Amino acid sequence: MQTKAKAIRFLLYRYLFSSWASRTRKNASSIGVLLPVTGVAIGVFAFTVVLSVMGGFVKDIKNNLFNLNAHIEIIAKNKNDLIPIDPLLLSKIESFSSDILSTAPYQSGDVILQAGNKGQMARLEGISPEKAPLTLGIEKYLSKNSSLDILNKKLKAQNIYKSADFPTIILSYDLMNQLGLNVGDSLTLVSTQPDEGPGGLSPIQFPVVIAANVNLKNLALNQKVIFSSIDVANIFFQTHNTWKGIQIKIKNPLDADDFSINLNKKLNPLGLQAIPWTESNSAFLKVLTLEKWGMSFVMSMIILVGCFSISISLLLSVRRKSSEFAILRSMGFEQLDLSRLLLWQGFIIGLAGVVIGLILGGLCLYFIHNYQIPFITHSYSSKPLPILVNYFDLIIISLGSVFLAMLAAVWPAIEVKNLDIIEILSVRN
């Protein structure tokens, strides 16, 4: 038994490695090893790079969502209702759990921005300049030397001669460019719902001054969001002494779903309900999950194609070395020994492809994360490119690739058992 094991190791070395040093056998045997190893390596390399970049991309998006959205929002059970202002309600909610880090009220609604002859739909978010920084991470995206405290002030408009003092807003960067405005300019907030005044139905017009701009790392939000103090928003929407809802920050935002279920048990008697960030962004998260699974499927097909090349290569090897296998059988090798030899070849080819693919993938991730590659950095705003290596996924990919490589060797292992030794040796003689 040990003699056969040594013979199998010798044959593996001869078929997989020594052929590279032989000029006469290099064209056939070495290429028959190189191609399947390359196929598996390319698949593992692509899988490693794509999933790591996709993981970093998703992590970056979630971080932005955590910064720009509350982990949990509390609103009235009837979504059309507003919450009466009650400072004690905030402290009461915070007392429900030690995992609640902060709370902040907000008011929001649709608005039309009018600047000269230009108009743009937007979303007005009324926040508390004192409490919002504890719940949201907006301040890190503000223009230099700006803070949310500016929303408590009134300023004169630089584009109006002898301007009066107007309430202030913070305008998203893309909106400011679309309207052709600068910090310090005035614009008019126009309500989307007409209000009955002395002259009949007409929309509310509310002049404000741009005190700062915010450049959010979210294209959709950057084109529609403006911020004001919650008092200014209540005046504009005519929702005095009410809140649209309450924003909550918790210790672990990934547990927001379970936390909301437990929180709702305490909020239901108050006529309130908790909505986690995963529910308010459910459509977007489903797209990300679907995209990840789609990419994983495509990368798996690349690895599978590489494993098919192992099967083809070993089948050709069986045909090409049939006389050698016949001689081995005549020397005492059994059919099972030859099948084991081919399975070991598939295993080593798959393992070599996995190791090479992981090394190349790691080097590629290192370079795209640490060096400014023009065609990548121009397409993605975050620098450096975010990378998240999921080692559990890599282990599954590696083990799966080696298993598929061994599975690809099953057919050649069955074919070698069907060789007619007598016929092969008679033809050889």
Per-residue pLDDT tens digits for 128-169:
988 888 888 888 888 877 888 889 888 888 877 777 889 999
Neighbours of 320 (CB within 10 A): 12
pLDDT over threshold 80, residue 94: yes
- pTM of the predicted protein model: 0.68
Is the Cβ–Cβ distance between 54 and 386 less than 8 Å?
Answer: no
CA–CA distance, 59 with 315 (Å, rounded to integer): 44
**List of E strands, 38-177:** 72-76, 83-84, 100-115, 118-127, 154-156, 165-172
pLDDT over threshold 80, residue 328: no
Percent of the chain with pLDDT over 70: 82
From residue 134, alpha-carbon distances to 11, 121, 226, 257 in Å are 68, 28, 19, 21
* Greater pLDDT, 46 or 28: 46
pLDDT tier for residue 404 given thresholds of 50, 70 and 90: confident
Neighbours of 274 (CB within 10 A): 24
pLDDT over threshold 60, residue 95: yes
Per-residue pLDDT averaged across 293-302, rounded?
80
As a whole number of Å, the CA-based R_g of the chain is 33
Q: What is the pLDDT of residue 105?
A: 92
pLDDT tier for residue 370 given thresholds of 50, 70 and 90: confident
- The residue among 321, 300, 302 whose CA lies nearest residue 16 is 321
Structure tokens, 119? 């108009």
> 3-state DSSP: the chain helix, strand, coil percent, rounded to 5?
55, 20, 20
Q: What is the pLDDT of residue 202?
A: 67
Q: What is the pLDDT of residue 65?
A: 72
Strand, coil or helix: 388: coil
Q: What is the pLDDT of residue 157?
A: 84
pLDDT over threshold 70, residue 217: no
DSSP 335-373: HHHHHHHHHHHHHHHHHHHHHHHHHHHHHHHHHHHHS--
CA–CA distance, 366 with 369 (Å, rounded to integer): 5
CA–CA distance, 415 with 290 (Å, rounded to integer): 40
Q: CA triplet 307, 311, 313: central angle to 5 degrees?
A: 110
From residue 219, alpha-carbon distances to 108, 177, 216, 337 in Å are 19, 14, 7, 62
From residue 195, alpha-carbon distances to 190, 199, 237, 239, 254 in Å are 11, 10, 10, 13, 42
From residue 224, alpha-carbon distances to 1, 177, 181, 218, 284 in Å are 75, 12, 15, 10, 17
Per-residue pLDDT averaged across 348-356, rounded?
88
